[in-house]
Structures are given as C-alpha cells and as structure tokens.
Amino acid sequence: MKGVILGGGFGTRLYPLTKVTNKHLLPVYNKPMICYPIETLLKMGITEILIVTGIEFAGDFLRLLGHGEEFIADLNKWNNTQYPVVQFHYAVQKGAGGIADALRLAELFAGKDSVAVILGDNIFEDNFKNEMTKHENGAMIFIKEVKDNRRFGVPIFDAETKRIVGIEEKPTKPKSSYAVTGLYIYDHRVFDIIRTLKPSVRGELEITDVNNWYVKNGSMNCAIVNGFWTDAGTIETLHSASALVKEKESKK
C-alpha cells in the first residue's frame, strides 16, 4: 500500500497566518503540521508517500522533508522492523478543485496498489496498522463520534444492520453523531471513479461522492477512531491541536 498526503489549498480560514506560507507548514506544538499525517502513515508501515500541494510552496515542502531519509529511524521504531528507505514523492495541484481532484494526481504513483489517503491538516492519536492489514479491496473510512459534525461528512447507518448506507456532506441536520475523518483507504478503482465525477455546487470534485460510490457498490468498510482526532484548519482547531499534542507528549 502507498500513502498520499493532500497538502494543497489556500488556507483561507487561517489567514493571515497563511499569507506567506502553506497552512500545512504551520507549527502544531513542536513540529510542522505536515509531520503528523506523515507519522500516521509511517505507523501503518507505509514507506512510499506522495505529497500533493500547490506550486507556490512546493519548494518549501521539499526543503523541509527532502526525500524522507530523516524519517527512517521513526519508521523502524514504530514498526519494530528494519525498513531501508522512506521515499517521498511530490505532485503539484493547480488551483483548489477539491479532495478528489487532488487525489486523482496520485494515479501514476499508485499504479495498481491501494492507497491510504490523509488530509494534511488531520492529526490522529491512534495507530491504524491493524486496520490497514485487514484491507483487501474496496474502501475504508475512519469515523469518530464528535459534538459538532456538521462541518464534515456524516455517515448514515441502517437502523437494523448498523452498516453505512450513505454519507452526507456537511448536513444541517446530521442523521448520526459521527463524522468522517480525513483518513481513507481505497483500492485502485478510486481513480476510475474520480473520472466519472462532476463538480458539486462548490465547483469541486467531492470525496463524499467517491465514498458513496463504494457504499452503493457494497465495498465500503469503516473503522472507529478511539483516540483523539482533530483537523487544524481553523484558528481554533490549530490551537486545540497544539494543546492535544502537548498533553500527549507530556505523558510520555
């Protein structure tokens, strides 16, 4: 399995912090934000990672991360193995056409492999290696029960089977108390699905449309996020993300 980190966008909700830099390069406690999704993928044992970002700051990512050599020690520590390399690759997204639009740039990188896709501003406490090893085909989303899920995609469950029967994007009246987090696993069919999408009213290719395709075709699985999860895409969540990471680090 290969990893994809989506680190584009304009970061308008974090302005003026993002006036001269990409939001994924902002600090969250003691590390640049992008380091946390990298760590999530490395803990899953993923050694090849594509970072998708805008052309304005692509060079900044390359200067910060290089090709991944500095992360080899962490990879082996978390997986109790001896991987020889971590490889970062880079792709440039023009504009901001949505999550699915950014993901389509990973097609050649992925080949016939499945991909674990994570949004660059999502920070997870959990280690999802077990969930990754269970994935054979189809898709998997990671859901978390939250107080205000109207900012996210919200899963709809069948009352009897408890299986997901649909996902609503930013509903005003959510039909469950869960939110779809910014971590997804897809088989290689995802790129064929993206080619069939039409832009939403926001003018974007929505990842929720991709997820609903898998739901309708009976190939969607889900896993519950037990530890803390937050995005860091607003001033408030950026601050709370730093607090959560600090609290975790202080317990070590």
Taking only the tens of pLDDT, the chain with its 252 residues reads: 999 999 988 788 999 999 999 999 999 999 999 999 999 999 999 999 999 999 888 999 999 998 888 899 888 888 888 888 899 999 998 877 889 999 999 999 999 999 999 999 999 999 999 999 888 889 999 999 998 899 999 999 998 888 999 999 999 999 999 999 999 999 999 999 999 999 988 888 999 999 999 999 999 999 999 999 999 999 999 999 999 999 988 887
Triad 132, 243, 185: Cα angle to 5°: 15
CA distances from 241 to 46, 49, 114, 132, 224 (A): 24, 23, 29, 25, 20
The secondary structure of 135-172 as a DSSP string is --SSEEEEEEE-S--TTSEEEEE-TTT--EEEEEES-S
Looking at the 3D structure of the chain, how many domains does it have? 1
> In this structure, what CATH number is given to the domain that contains residue 140?
3.90.550.10
CA angle 54, 203, 20 (to 5 degrees): 30
Which pLDDT score is estimated for 210?
A: 97
How many angstroms separate the Cα of 175 from the Cα of each of 150, 169, 207, 229, 231?
A: 10, 11, 19, 21, 22
pLDDT at 67: 86
Domain extent at residue 162 = 2-250
Amino acid 125: pLDDT: 95
Give bridge partners of residue 220 from the DSSP assignment.
139
What integer pLDDT is reported at residue 81 of this predicted model? 82
Q: What is the pTM of this model?
A: 0.95
DSSP H stretches of helix in the chain: 35-43, 58-65, 72-79, 99-103, 107-110, 129-134, 190-195, 207-216, 235-250
